[in-house]
A and B are shown apart, each in its own frame.
Chain A
Amino acid sequence: MNTQSAADGHHRLKQRFLLLISITFILTGLFFNPPLEILQGFLRINTHPSLLLSDYLVIGGIGATLLNSALIILIELVIIHYTQTRITGALLAAVLTTAGFAFFGTNVFNSLPIIAGALFTAKLEKLPINSYFLPAFFGTSLGPLVSYIAFGLSLPFGFSVPAGLLAGLAAGMIVPPLSSAFLRFHQGYNLYNVGFTAGIIGMVAVAVLRMLNVQVLPLSILDTEHEFILTLLTALMFLALLGLGLVLNGWKLSGLTEIWKDSGRLISDFVIQVGSGPALINMGLVGLISLGYVKLMRGPINGPVIGALLTLCGFAAFGKHPRNCIPILMGTYLASLFHLEQTNSTGAMLTALFGTTLAPIAGRFGVLAGVLAGYLHTALVANVLPLHGGVNLYNNGFSGGFVAGFLVPLLEAAQRFFEREKNDKPA
């Protein structure tokens, strides 16, 4: 098989795998709830303000939540398919992340205008439409902005729904240029770059809303009833990814060391760099390690935690691997041990798992720097949430941008100092 046909084959396999995940989600949902109940739950999800943390398992039930996540995957797959775009590691990360956030904030109603807005910007700039798939898909982190304006302000729906959709379109349109520009702030050391951008957009939008005397406050609606089935579903998905990766890689682990040597700094697309096989193995491993971490900490498995697990798994095709993630987990654990009331709350789990947005710092500057980054991230993440009031779902990406922007220049300066000292020493 030549390289091109192998790449085509891998592309189709990845497409089918994502399709299989969405079909499995829908069928699992039907196992728990009858279709009418699922549709009613789906309607409740799509008409909920959806501010952080709104666990759709509570709002719509498990069947509707799984349907919502499956539809988000399907919408993105259709867009990818009809534009004949190859599924890179970055796109795998985007699809799995948005599928994860469809458990607690992203829904069909609030994501479509944002995606449309970002793709419209590509058209305006006369760029290929797939140039902006990443900001379009990740931009759905601003979904709650759409939903809150549409359904959270107690205004007549005839006014609020179009206003929400327009806000989503506008947010989608400004995400690509802003997120591209903000890359320079953290130099690619914050993997959830759109999360940082969405945090800034959310902060500005909420500030304007607050000037109009509109209160935007984060929520805390969390599920406690579906722990077993969610653990089983995610564990099976991660094992399937591991298995598929091994099959594509000829039952070898070759390529994995190459991935683990990478700093993970943007852009580290493991599918392009090393191939689909090793990238999928890494995804399965990172997924299983993160699920193991939650279980080891006796943390809960609810909608937001599932979102975090799927995000980690997705980004294991685009920058994350055990070597650069574990130091961050250690740093967040240390911080929560000393400073948080509970080391196994949903908040602590989310901070630890999403904190791996800073994995490239550990990959580039070493374990200690990674632990420090995780520690600082825990300190900052709760403080930035009130700035956007929960309209940005990627709050850890917002916080991670500041941590990386603060830490990386200092680490670089320290590195330069020690290198100079080493060179100045007499032989």
Chain B
Amino acid sequence: MISQREKDQISNVIRTLCRFYLQKGCEDFKLDLRYEDDYYSLNIAGKVLISLEEVDQVRTNLAKPASPEMSHYYDELLASGGDDEDMYLLGYLIEFSEVLYADGVLSLRLRTCCH
């Protein structure tokens, strides 16, 4: 059973991702959320205006090791900043990430555990 806290956290993650895509000029993106027993996975893909350096930055941000003191305490900061720093914060929550960029389409596959 998904807890209220987890629901809030997932909502904040989705807000962060949506905001990021919109800020990068995306007008049409697809977001897919799947909740399993002990984790949830999120896939998002859309055409964005982004440089290769920015893609690398997204990759680095999301590859950071997740840590409990960050993911259960500072998660309230998600979607409060309004710039790329939110993607950086997101990295602390994500346990697995795959970043693909081809033909202007940025696809993110993310997975994080639920406690």
Of all chain A residues, the one with the shortest Cβ separation from B92 is A267
What A residues does B115 contact at CB under 8 A?
126-128, 131
Taking the nearest CB of chain B, how far is it from the CB of A138, in angstroms?
11
Assess whether A132 is interfacial by the CB under 8 Å rule: yes
Assess whether B89 is in contact with A267, with CB atoms less than 8 Å apart: yes
Give Cα distance in the complex from A90 to B67, angstroms: 11
Assess whether B39 is interfacial by the CB under 8 Å rule: no
Assess whether B68 is in contact with A127, with CB atoms less than 8 Å apart: yes
Contacts of A178-218 to chain B: CB distance below 8 A? 179-181, 183-184, 187-188
Of all chain B residues, the one with the shortest Cβ separation from A269 is B70
Contacts of A260-274 to chain B: CB distance below 8 A? 263, 265-267, 269, 272-273
Assess whether B69 is in contact with A90, with CB atoms less than 8 Å apart: yes
Assess whether B30 is interfacial by the CB under 8 Å rule: no
What B residues does A265 contact at CB under 8 A?
81, 85
What A residues does B72 contact at CB under 8 A?
127-128, 131-132
Quick one: given A127-B115, A187-B81, A267-B92, are A134 and B76 in contact (CB under 8 Å)? no
Quick one: given A125-B5, A127-B115, A183-B80, are A88 and B69 in contact (CB under 8 Å)? yes
Assess whether B73 is in contact with A184, with CB atoms less than 8 Å apart: no
Task: Classify the secondary structure of A's interface with B.
Answer: helix
Assess whether B15 is interfacial by the CB under 8 Å rule: no
B69 contact from A126, A132, A181, Cβ within 8 A? A132
Quick one: given A266-B74, A267-B92, are A130 and B80 in contact (CB under 8 Å)? no
Assess whether A176 is interfacial by the CB under 8 Å rule: yes
Assess whether B69 is in contact with A133, with CB atoms less than 8 Å apart: yes
Assess whether A135 is interfacial by the CB under 8 Å rule: yes
A130 contact from B65, B69, B92, Cβ within 8 A? B69
Give Cα distance in the complex from A265 to B85, angstroms: 9
Interface centre among B70, B73, B77, B82 (most CB of A within 10 A): B73
What B residues does A269 contact at CB under 8 A?
70
Assess whether B19 is interfacial by the CB under 8 Å rule: no
What A residues does B80 contact at CB under 8 A?
183-184, 187-188
Quick one: given A183-B74, A187-B77, A187-B80, are A263 and B69 in contact (CB under 8 Å)? no
Q: Convert A84-123 into 0s and 1s, putting 1 for each residue whose CB lies closer than 8 angstroms to a CB of B.
A: 0110101100000000000000000000000000000000
Taking the nearest CB of chain A, how far is it from the CB of B65, in angstroms?
7
What A residues does B47 contact at CB under 8 A?
none
Give Cα distance in the complex from A304 to B70, angstroms: 29
What B residues does A412 contact at CB under 8 A?
82
Give Cα distance in the complex from A272 to B64, angstroms: 8
What B residues does A181 contact at CB under 8 A?
76
Give Cα distance in the complex from A127 to B113, angstroms: 12
Contacts of B58-115 to chain A: CB distance below 8 A? 64-65, 67-77, 80-82, 85, 89, 92, 115
What B residues does A90 contact at CB under 8 A?
69-70
Give Cα distance in the complex from A125 to B3, angstroms: 10
What A residues does B92 contact at CB under 8 A?
267
Of all chain B residues, the one with the shortest Cβ separation from A132 is B73
Taking the nearest CB of chain B, how far is it from the CB of A152, in angstroms?
31
Contacts of B1-24 to chain A: CB distance below 8 A? 3, 5
Assess whether A134 is in contact with B85, with CB atoms less than 8 Å apart: no
What B residues does A263 contact at CB under 8 A?
85
Give 5 CB contacts A-B under 8 Å: A91-B69, A127-B72, A127-B115, A133-B69, A135-B73
Residues of B at under 8 Å CB distance from A? 3, 5, 64-65, 67-77, 80-82, 85, 89, 92, 115
Besides A126-B3, A266-B74, 19 more A-B contacts (Cβ < 8 Å) are A85-B69, A86-B67, A90-B69, A127-B72, A127-B115, A132-B69, A176-B73, A179-B73, A181-B76, A183-B74, A187-B77, A187-B80, A187-B81, A188-B74, A188-B81, A265-B85, A267-B70, A272-B64, A272-B65
